[in-house]
């Protein structure tokens, strides 16, 4: 009997969302120097999408996503983060969103105010699974060898008739509709000041004023004994 081969379903990558312009960055924001030899800050591997676009999957660890998003906001001054997810990974985007809102040092505010706010957009996308035929993985010669090279009669066929359907690679695409989710996290931090006038120094705290006063009194009391004797003789 020929060995039975199980059909392996290959999940094809879904189409990426349409390209969007990159988010802005705060001006005059210093970029943290990356550590390690050969370390560099690269762009996104997805064409048409900037570094501020994060594609959340179930395989990507939450800690890595949090570290990347935090670095984009605090080190590079990103003012917007986009989180994309499909199907079962949608719950990971909400966990990531709430984690960032707790970690980032900005208050939660409404649109147009200094702080953080977010938008949630949902939709559907078509995903395809590639299902090979029962002879997929075998070429024509290997398929005949698997059958022992004998002529067989199938239903509706004749002896000696070549069944090309069993010898070729036939792939079936199974379409599936999945839910997609997009979360846009807006960060409106304190913008750098353009005022060049020198600002007044803030009044020191009571503790600092007391320390300064104590230091001045100590310097006044620190008098040379020879000067004291000379002052007594002149009296």
Per-residue pLDDT at 167 = 46
pLDDT at 7 over 50: yes
- pLDDT (tens digit, 9 = 90+) per residue, 54-91? 889 888 888 999 998 988 888 878 888 999 988 888 89
Tell me the percentage of the chain whose pLDDT exceeds 90.
8
- pLDDT (tens digit, 9 = 90+) per residue, 24-47? 555 444 455 555 444 445 555 666
Per-residue pLDDT at 21 = 65
**Helix, strand, coil fractions of the chain, as percent rounded to 5:** 30, 20, 50
Neighbours of 132 (CB within 10 A): 16
Q: What is the mean pLDDT of residues 169-190?
A: 74
Mean pLDDT of all residues belonging to the chain: 69
Answer yes or no: pTM beyond 0.75. no
Higher pLDDT, 21 or 72: 72
Q: What is the mean pLDDT of residues 192-219?
A: 69
Per-residue pLDDT at 161 = 45
Cα angle, residue 96 at apex, residues 92 and 176 outer, rounded to 5°? 30
pLDDT at 95 over 90: yes
SS (H, E, C) 181-225: EEEEEEEECCCCCCCCCCCCCCCCCHHHHHHHHHHHHHHHHCCCH
Per-residue pLDDT at 124 = 82
d(C-alpha 138, C-alpha 4), whole Å: 12
Per-residue pLDDT at 96 = 93
Higher pLDDT, 60 or 229: 60
Give the alpha-carbon dihedral of 116, 178, 173, 15, to 10 degrees: -20
3 state SS of 97:
helix
pLDDT at 155 over 50: no
Q: What is the mean pLDDT of residues 174-193?
A: 75
Most confidently modeled of 6-10, 180-184, 192-196, 208-212? Answer: 180-184
d(C-alpha 45, C-alpha 51), whole Å: 9
Residue 188 binned pLDDT confidence (cut-offs 50, 70, 90): confident
CATH 2.160.10.10 fits 10-133+170-193, yes or no: no
């Amino acid at each position: 009997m020929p060995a039975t081969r199980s059909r392996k379903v290959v999940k094809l990558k879904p189409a990426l969302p349409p390209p969007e312009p990159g988010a802005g960055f705060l001006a005059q924001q210093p970029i943290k120097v990356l550590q390690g030899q050969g370390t560099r800050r690269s762009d996104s591997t997805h064409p048409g999408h900037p570094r501020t676009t994060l594609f959340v999957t179930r395989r990507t660890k939450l800690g890595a996503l949090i570290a990347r998003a935090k670095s984009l906001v605090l080190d590079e001054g990103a003012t917007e983060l986009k989180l994309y997810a499909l199907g079962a990974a949608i719950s990971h985007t909400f966990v990531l969103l709430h984690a960032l809102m707790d970690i980032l040092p900005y208050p939660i505010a409404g649109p147009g105010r200094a702080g953080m706010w977010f938008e949630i957009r949902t939709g559907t996308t078509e995903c395809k699974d590639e299902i090979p035929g029962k002879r997929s993985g075998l070429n024509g010669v290997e398929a005949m060898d698997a059958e022992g090279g004998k002529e067989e009669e199938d239903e509706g066929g004749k002896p000696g008739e070549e069944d090309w359907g069993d010898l070729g690679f036939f792939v079936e695409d199974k379409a599936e509709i999945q839910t997609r989710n997009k979360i846009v996290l807006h960060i409106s931090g304190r913008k750098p000041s353009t005022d060049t006038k020198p600002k007044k120094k803030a009044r020191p705290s009571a503790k600092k004023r007391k320390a300064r006063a104590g230091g001045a009194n100590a310097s006044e009391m620190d008098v040379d004994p020879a000067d004291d004797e000379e002052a007594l003789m002149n009296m």
